[in-house]
Chains A and B, each alone.
Chain A
Amino acid sequence: MVRRYLRLLTVQLKASGLQALQYRADFFTDGFTSLCWVFTALAPLFVVYGRQPEVEGWSFGEALLVVGWFTLLQGILEGAINPSLTGVVEHIRKGTLDFVLLKPADAQFLVSTQRFLPWRAFNVLTGLGLFIYAFMLLGRGPSPLGLLTSLLLLGTSTVLLYSLWILTVSAAFFVVRVDNLTYLFTSIFDFARWPSSVFKGVAKGALTLVFTYVIPLALMTTFPAEAMLGRLPVASLVGAVVGSAVFAWVARRVWIRSIGHYTSASS
């Protein structure tokens, strides 16, 4: 069973890889635009930290780590999650999801792996670059334990991101026209670019609650950054692991229920 799905995954990856190799020049154009967008995340930080050395207990180098995680996850989102799931919306609208459902494999697996855009993952490299720059500014390296924890959190963040995406896409079964819903998702993810403690002062902490429990953006970028700095409480780590598992489970249930509403729109 697992071996069969691994083989399927290799086939899908190979197909996407071959396609990407056809458009090699995209590596540079996508890379260039991604660097530009990263600059928009950095510009406000430069302006803020040009005026004061610390915001809500985060120095410039530390805040850079959060931006680094934001960029890295954006790379995963745009390279591995977005392309496939945008395809699902298209399938639902055109009614071609039939062909996926007929195949003798799990539909969620098939639609989630149907397309990867390796060149879009350029942001992952940029994110790593930001980590190096941040630690140079901080004048020390991450602790080995912190690094291990942050790797674990990379896993949980990806799971969270993917689950939130599945939840968004499930909406397509009900409202059909959601290609801009996906855009909305990316816009909300923009809130993850600052350390989550900046939200403390807004609306009496209500935003912090929302971004920790409802849309767990804090878990995705601030937690791994804190782990790298070696100051993430163990309780938060456990919370992140359990939380992402719960989110994945809920997303799976919602997907199965939503697919029951699929009516093969076009024919």
Chain B
Amino acid sequence: MNARGLMRALPTMLRVSFAESVAYRAEMFVWVLSTTMPLVNMVLWMAVAKSAPVGHFGQADFVGYFLATFAVRQLTSAWAAWLINWEVKQGTLAMRLLRPISPLWGYASDNVAGFPMRVVVALPVVLLSIALVGAHKAVPQHAWQWGLFLVAVLGGWAITFLANVAIGALSLFLDSSQKMMEVWMVLFFVCSGYMYPVEFLPDGLRTVIDWLPFRYQMGLPVELMTNAHDLPTALGLVARQWAWVLGMGALAVGLWKQGVKCFAAFGG
């Protein structure tokens, strides 16, 4: 399908997906509530920082960091891998393949259309964070910081989504790639700054993590939101993030194209 057709189809797809996300808002709300991991770790780190600050993190900094993590998690989450696994198993992927547009656009629009609802949830958390620890620890302070933060959130979402597609596409070769997705999630939890700021890790490990995609999914947007970097550092990190977006994009599309060729549409 050419670009013009895509531009014509996308608004409608987004409208449909948005209507779906509104229809299932209660379900989404439960999903949001089950994002407890940042809060679980927040209380731990608050207890740790009670007597003396950890590095340059005091209790208030931890509150700011983990509430930012909660908000960023809402904005950057993707679940395409589970959906692809399910549709491959049930054979319903055939329905999507019949449409004159790549299913990947469908998955992306499902995801993107949830954004408005997710912003609605993330916003009160950000406001709460501002009320608790003050604006300078909770949200970007300058226009350039806001700009880079938004770019980083978009990049973080893109990496998450494309990794989901890549792993989901593996299910076309292997019948099911859910276990692989779980392993990816574990690595994400441990390496991304989701459970602790990555700067607490030992130096050697941090160098490795700087080269892995996970930190750019979560840690980078959160750090930019809490004003952890100056302009040159931030620009460098965002550049690395977008390099990962491109790399992951190539991988996802490549795997998908190869995978669809072996799709057998069983069950449908």
Given contacts A36-B182, A201-B50, contact A191 B40 (CB under 8 A): yes
A56 proximal to B (CB < 8 A): yes
Where chain A touches its partner, the secondary structure class is: helix
A residues less than 8 Å from B47 (CB atoms)? 55-56, 194, 197-201
Min C-beta distance of B67 to chain A, whole Å: 13
Q: Mark A30-73, 1 if CB is under 8 A from B, else 0.
A: 00110011011001100110111001100000000000000000
A residues less than 8 Å from B48 (CB atoms)? 48, 51-52, 55
Cβ A44 vs Cβ B195 within 8 A = yes
Cβ A194 vs Cβ B44 within 8 A = yes
Give B202's nearest chain A residue, CB to CB. A50
B144 proximal to A (CB < 8 A): no
Top 3 nearest A-B pairs (CB, nearest first) are: A187-B34, A198-B47, A36-B186
Cβ A184 vs Cβ B34 within 8 A = yes
Where chain B touches its partner, the secondary structure class is: helix
A residues with a Cβ closer than 8 A to B are 29, 32-33, 36-37, 39-40, 43-44, 47-48, 50-52, 55-56, 177, 180-181, 183-184, 186-188, 190-191, 193-194, 197-202, 207
Cβ A47 vs Cβ B31 within 8 A = no
Give A177's nearest chain B residue, CB to CB. B27
A residues less than 8 Å from B201 (CB atoms)? 47
Q: Per a CB cutoff under 8 Å, which of B26, B44, B190, B200 touches A39?
A: B190
Given contacts A36-B182, A177-B26, A180-B34, contact A43 B189 (CB under 8 A): yes
Give A178's nearest chain B residue, CB to CB. B30
B35 proximal to A (CB < 8 A): yes
Q: Per a CB cutoff under 8 Å, which of A52, A180, A197 touches B30?
A: A180
Max count, chain B CB within 10 A of own CB: residue among A177, A187, A199:
A187
A residues less than 8 Å from B37 (CB atoms)? 187, 190
